[in-house]
Amino acid sequence: MLHPRDWFAKAVGLGGIHVAVDESGEVGGYMAVTPRPDPKDPGLPAVVREMVRLADSNLADGKFLATRPYAIHGPVCIDERFRGKGVFSAFHQATSNAYRNFYDRAVLFVSVDNPRSLHTATAKLGARTMGRFSAEGAEFHLLVMEF
């Protein structure tokens, strides 16, 4: 590894990509948890920019935003061969443990055409729907969850 240990500690604290591998080392999926991005970042996907804009206005309760920034949860993808085996819940357990000392909440978006993802977000992450929004010609649910 070229990066010092401190770099990894900071990366885990600020956000990161969690990867699941099986006994043979084959990658089964990943779940991302990253810090709230700067919505002015020109490289940001439009869907993330719109999500942050809406989340900022929806979550602006008291000092929350100034003291404890929220995280962005996702994307998450589990290889078809590994679905339905508890990997999603294992990811959630791992990411909750990793981030709850750094963030109270995370926001996420789910396509309105992805009922499986909406189910896992609500039933397994405990996320609540805050509303819907459009970006890049598609419709999304905006959700918030507690770590």
Ligand X SMILES: CC(C)(COP(=O)(O)OP(=O)(O)OC[C@H]1O[C@@H](n2cnc3c(N)ncnc32)[C@H](O)[C@@H]1OP(=O)(O)O)[C@@H](O)C(=O)NCCC(=O)NCCS
Can you give the binding site for ligand X, defined by CB under 6 A? 74-78, 83-84, 87-89, 114-117, 119-120, 123
Q: Which residue, 105 or 124, has its beta carbon nearer to ligand X? A: 124
CB 72, min distance to ligand X, A: 11
Closer to ligand X by Cβ: residue 115 or 131: 115
Please, what is the minimum distance in Å from the beta carbon of residue 126 to ligand X?
13
Cα–Cα dist 45/31, whole Å: 18
Phi-psi category of 112—alpha, beta or left, where left has phi over 0 and alpha has psi -120 to 50?
alpha
CA atoms of 65 and 79, how far apart (whole Å): 35
Minimum CB separation of residue 123 from ligand X in Å reads 5
At residue 48, φ and ψ (nearest 5 deg) are -75, -40
Q: Which ranges of 1-147 would DSSP assign to H, the alpha helix?
A: 5-14, 46-58, 64-67, 87-99, 115-119
d(CA 123, CA 95): 16
CB nearer ligand X, residue 68 or residue 119: 119
Least distance CB 55 / ligand X (angstroms): 16
Shortest distance, position 28 Cβ to ligand X, whole Å: 9
> Is 10 or 81 the residue whose CB approaches ligand X more closely?
81
In this complex, which beta carbon is closest to ligand X, that of residue 54 or of residue 143?
Answer: 143
Q: Name the residue among 52, 90, 93, 91 with its Cα closest to residue 70.
A: 52
